[in-house]
């Protein structure tokens, strides 16, 4: 039997855990290549050369120097991370020597050079995958989100038939839209500025370029793959995506089971596992102490670890805080985002200082401590391509209370009487996502919690869920081979 050829894949993404992270994209780009390596596929991750990225590359060497008329002088730095990822970073200080949020400036507005910057990033990535820069030619260029959306257009424009392109849509709401004058500096054929190309309502859309020119499109859960092909969930791209229906797959995200492991997690107060779950109670009391919440083992402690945006439905939750406290519950929130939502939770914490703790900001260790110490996590998203915090929560025996959308639909089993009787329930789902249904989901969660045997069964079911990457990594490997 002939040996199967190992595919070589270039991931192109703007974030990668543990180097640079604003959300789940980074987790996926940091974990999937390692799972793919176990499945027999070689992945190199192409990243912007942000200071934190360059600092995190071990045994760094200069792969190439780039001098072109259509971009700033730059270098490609290659090396590996401590976590075992192969990285190529685009060290272009004019674009990437920035601290803080990679996409937003200090005032919370989009950085003015986002269009030029990620066009250049995608162009260089395409040239690397094509073997025009550096010596290696890749089999697959796998682009993630709008920041890498133009890669497929550059590959198409090169005329190659060998390199295959995939776009993964992590969130259709971020479409990479820029004024049409940018087209002139992209170095693409002018014919690409059309309805069948990257023109979108008189603008250019990098995400649309990815949708139109990639050989295949994936998204991060089966339900979201259907939602984005509808007029409601398609956010303007529903028709285009329906037309590409045969080339769309929904492959569920997983999480890195080593990064998220309550048995070995160095950030949490007490280790525990499905076999020996007792330590979870110690995490709860330590967390209540650390956050200056009223120490009470019996008060259900709810957490939120999230971008504070309307996508995540947290405006709805902000209206429920009095009710939750009146029922005897506590809330520990970590996140940042829309100022109205931040203000609402800050006000709630001020009103109930011993019952509600609010940390505005980004704090990786605290995220682990919250997952370990809380009884349940709220994810009342209006839409959710996959969602990773419910997977981390289940891994830590923390029960997810979620809107029944996207990946939350695919990963949480609602505690219906039938699921409870069968020992399958892992959380509480509600639909449609509105204040009324969230209220009734919270009431249900209190009811479930008031019956310790029942609650413990749900916690055990969560701890026993398989939330790793193994299955989906094999699916990605097979998809690469099929192309
Ligand atoms: P999204 O990517 O839409 O923000 P996901 O659920 O896919 O949502 O991924 C969010 C990731 O970011 C998770 O790893 C979560 O733990 C992490 N996260 C979100 N907000 C914070 C925060 N304020 N501090 C630390 N980690 C956070
Ligand atoms: C996006 C989505 C989230 C998903 C993540 C990783 O940020 O909002 O649902 O889990 O990407 O794919």
- pLDDT, block means (10 residues), the chain with 483 residues: 72 97 96 96 98 97 87 93 96 95 90 96 97 93 98 96 96 98 96 97 98 98 98 96 98 97 98 96 98 98 97 98 98 97 98 98 97 98 98 98 98 97 97 98 98 97 98 97 94
What's the CA gap between 190 and 376, in Å, rounded?
Answer: 53
DSSP per-residue letters across 43-85: EEEEEE--HHHHHT-EEEEEEEEE--TTS--EEEEEEE-TTS-
Let me know if residue 270 belongs to a domain.
no
Residue 95: predicted pLDDT? 96
Are 201 and 284 contained in the same domain?
no
| Secondary structure (3-state) at 269 | coil
Of 23, 31, 102, 249, best ligand 2 pocket probe by most atoms within 8 Å of the beta carbon: 23
Strand order in the sheet with 177-179: 177-179, 203-205, 199-200
Cβ of 313 less than 6 Å from ligand 1: no
Q: Cβ(364) to ligand 1 under 6 A?
A: yes
In a domain, 347, yes or no: yes
Parallel, antiparallel or unpaired: strands 42-48 and 58-66:
unpaired
> Does 474 lie in the same domain as 361?
no
Distance 309 CA to ligand 1 centre (A): 12
Q: Measure 389 CA to ligand 1 centroid, in angstroms.
A: 7
Q: Which ligand is nearest to the CA of 221?
A: 2
Same domain for 206 and 298: no
Domain containing residue 329:
279-463
* 474 assigned to some structural domain: yes
Task: Please give the Cα distance from 406 to 132 (Å, whole number).
Answer: 39
Q: Name the residue of 171, 218, 335, 410 to mutate for ligand 2: max ligand atoms within 8 A of Cβ.
A: 171
Q: Are 142 and 170 in contact (CB under 8 A)?
A: no
- Partners of 261 in the β-ladder: none
Residue 393: C-alpha distances to residues 255, 374, 467 (Å): 11, 9, 10
In terms of domains, do 245 and 294 share one? no
Compute, in angstroms, the gap from residue 299 CA to the centroid of ligand 1. 25
What residues contact residue 340 under an 8 Å CB cut-off, 6+ apart? 315
Are 368 and 429 found together in one domain? yes
Q: Which helix (H) or strand (E) holds 99?
A: none
Are 359 and 474 contained in the same domain? no
Q: Do 360 and 381 lie in a common domain?
A: yes
Are 389 and 438 members of one domain?
yes
* Statement: the pTM of the whole predicted model exceeds 0.85: yes
User: Would strands 177-179 and 199-200 be described as parallel, antiparallel, or unpaired?
Assistant: unpaired
Closest protein CA for atom 14 of ligand 1: 24
- Of all protein residues, the one whose alpha carbon is nearest to atom 12 of ligand 2 is 170
Whether 3 is in a domain gets the answer no
Mutate to test the pocket of ligand 1, among 14, 306, 332 (most ligand atoms within 8 A of CB): 306
Same domain, yes or no: 241 and 356: no
| H/E stretch holding 356 | strand 356-360
From the centroid of its chain, how far is CA 117? 22
pLDDT number for residue 2: 45
User: Would residue 250 count as lying in a domain?
Assistant: yes
Question: What was the pLDDT predicted at 72?
Answer: 87
State the ligand closest to the CA atom of 359.
Answer: 1
CB of residue 406 inside a 6 A radius of ligand 1:
no
What tokens appear for 426 in the block?
Answer: 């892992």
CA 386 to CA 118: how far, in whole Å? 24
37 in any annotated domain:
yes
């Amino acid at each position: 039997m002939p040996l199967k050829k190992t595919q070589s894949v270039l991931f192109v993404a703007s974030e990668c855990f543990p180097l640079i992270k604003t959300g789940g994209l980074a987790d996926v780009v940091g974990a999937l290549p390692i799972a793919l390596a176990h499945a027999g596929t070689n992945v190199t991750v192409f990243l912007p050369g942000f200071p934190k990225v360059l600092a995190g590359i071990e045994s760094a060497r200069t792969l190439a120097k780039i001098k072109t008329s259509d971009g700033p002088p730059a270098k490609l730095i290659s090396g590996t991370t401590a976590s075992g990822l192969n990285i190529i970073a685009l060290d272009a200080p004019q674009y990437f020597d920035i601290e803080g949020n990679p996409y937003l400036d200090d005032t919370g507005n989009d950085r003015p050079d986002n269009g030029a910057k990620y066009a250049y990033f995608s162009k260089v990535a395409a040239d690397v995958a094509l073997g025009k820069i550096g010596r290696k030619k890749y089999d697959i260029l796998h682009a993630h989100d709008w920041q890498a959306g133009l890669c497929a257009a550059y590959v198409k424009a090169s005329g190659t038939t060998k390199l295959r392109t995939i776009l993964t849509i992590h969130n259709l709401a971020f479409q990479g839209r820029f004024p049409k004058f940018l087209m002139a500096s992209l170095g693409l054929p002018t014919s690409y500025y059309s309805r069948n190309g990257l023109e979108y309502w008189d603008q250019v859309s990098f995400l649309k370029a990815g949708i139109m020119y990639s050989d295949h499109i994936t998204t991060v859960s089966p339900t979201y793959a259907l939602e984005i092909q509808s007029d409601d969930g398609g956010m303007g791209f529903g028709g285009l995506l329906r037309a590409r229906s045969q080339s769309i797959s929904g492959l569920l995200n997983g999480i890195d089971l080593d990064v998220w492991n309550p048995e070995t997690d160095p950030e949490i107060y007490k280790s525990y596992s499905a076999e020996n779950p007792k330590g979870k109670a110690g995490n709860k009391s330590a967390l209540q102490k650390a956050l200056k919440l009223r120490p009470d083992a019996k008060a259900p402690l709810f957490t939120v670890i999230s971008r504070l945006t309307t996508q995540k439905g947290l405006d709805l939750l902000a209206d429920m805080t009095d009710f939750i406290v009146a029922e005897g519950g506590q809330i520990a929130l970590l996140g940042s985002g829309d100022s109205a939502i931040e203000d609402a939770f800050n006000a709630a914490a001020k009103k109930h200082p011993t019952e509600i703790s609010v940390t505005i900001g980004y704090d990786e260790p605290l995220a682990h401590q919250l997952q370990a110490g809380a009884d349940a996590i709220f994810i009342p998203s209006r839409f959710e391509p996959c969602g990773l915090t419910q997977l981390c929560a289940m891994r830590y025996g923390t029960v997810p209370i979620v809107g029944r959308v996207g990946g939350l639909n695919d990963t949480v089993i609602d505690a219906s009487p039938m699921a409870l009787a069968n020992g399958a329930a892992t959380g509480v789902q509600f639909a449609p996502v509105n204040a009324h249904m969230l209220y009734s989901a919270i009431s249900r969660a209190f009811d479930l919690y008031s019956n310790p045997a029942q609650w413990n069964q749900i916690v055990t079911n969560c701890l026993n869920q398989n939330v790793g990457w193994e299955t989906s990594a094999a699916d990605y490997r097979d998809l690469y081979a099929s192309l």
